[in-house]
Amino acid sequence: VLKRVIIGVDLGGTKIAAGAVTPAGDILVARTVPTPAAEGAETVLGTIMALVADVTREADEEGWPAAGIGLATPGVVHPRDGTVVYATPTLPGWSGLRLRDSVAAASALPTVVLNDAHAAAWGEWRAGAGRGATDMVMVTLGTGVGGGVVVGGVPLMGSQGAAARIGHVSVDTTGPRCYCGGIGCLELYASGIAIARAAQAALDQGVDTALRSVSRPLTAAHVVEAGRAGDPYAVAALATAGQYLGVALAALVALFNPQVVVFGGGLSEAGDLLLGPADREMRNRILPLVAESLSLRLAKLGGHAAVVGVALWAWRDFGLSPDPTEAERSVETAPGPAYRA
């Protein structure tokens, strides 16, 4: 038995998570530290390397030496050279960074780098709610909206690594300009930031809602909580966001004909309040034949999806963990919870 681990790392805007991951996708050691984003790219990279060293040492002490590193990062990652082609200003200095080469040189371990949403989708496909499907779309609903697509068992990266940017599918011909340069992007309607911003605007306009009594700053979690308690504004706001999500889903389903759409990220915990309207809007816009064989599921790996996904990707990239065979994929081995769970 090969007793080796990959050190999987998930870089976020506020925290960095790392875990020692086996070829089966089990996490042996897990650590999280805050992201010193404001201190610049060098400091963030140093923090990542210190965290990797800690997790590597702990795993080693338990008899599991590290075979390599998998790093999931926000932004567009070039599929061949592991360079961050584009990152949002939330990580100053991250755009243009030769991330794979830097981490590999500093650690003397083989390294792979993936976009964080692509990594989470790969994790859910290999070890979570997408397991057993040949074709899967994953939507990560958090502060922003991210995505990943698996087509016939192959992850969709795009020529520059910028494929499956579901948050930047346009859902409104007359919508506002997005920071990405697009118009009416899904992220402007169905992200945590968008929902919180809309709620604050509603309060400013004097709308009658229980959100008036919650502590500031107002977040999407407050809106979800109010929605669960039956607050009419919150219920309607989440339904509107869900409708926009449904428009984007209809486009994705028409393009990729998946068996499964998996929803991850903190905002997916809104469940039926958000995903019910999304489901109805989507089904109203797609071929009935396609709708019949499609199931919507919640992600199973929770906050660990990107750590597990990028590690499993590294195992595959290093030739140590082959993809499931066609026979293995045709069996529904681990159906995830339905979104109405």
- Contact residues for Zn ion (CB under 5 A)? 168, 178, 180, 182, 185
Minimum CB separation of residue 182 from Zn ion in Å reads 4
- The token pair that represents 225 in the structure block: 């909580």
Give how far the C-alpha of residue 60 lies from the chain's centroid of Cα atoms, to the nearest Å: 29
- Which residue from 195, 95, 183 is spatially nearest to 145, judged by alpha carbons? 195
- Considering the complex, state which of residue 71 and residue 77 has its C-beta at the smaller distance from Zn ion: 77
Nearer to Zn ion, 182 or 242 (CB): 182
The distance of closest approach from Cβ of residue 321 to Zn ion in the complex, given in angstroms and rounded to an integer, is 34
**Residue 47 or 191: which CB sits closer to Zn ion?**
191
Q: How far is the CB of 74 from Zn ion (least distance, A)?
A: 14
| Least gap, CB of 171 to Zn ion (angstroms) | 10
The strand pairing partners of 17, in sequence order, are: 10, 32
Query: 170 or 295: whose CB is closer to Zn ion?
Result: 170
- Shortest reach from residue 246's CB to Zn ion, in Å: 18
Closer residue to Zn ion (CB): 168 or 304: 168
Residue pair 317/67 in contact (Cβ under 8 Å)? The answer is no
Least distance (Å) between residue 117 CB and Zn ion: 14
Least separation in angstroms between residue 176's CB and Zn ion is 10
182 vs 192, beta carbon nearer Zn ion: 182
Nearer to Zn ion, 148 or 182 (CB): 182
Name the residue nearer to Zn ion (CB basis): 162 or 221.
Answer: 162
Question: Whole-number minimum distance, CB 65 to Zn ion, in Å?
Answer: 42
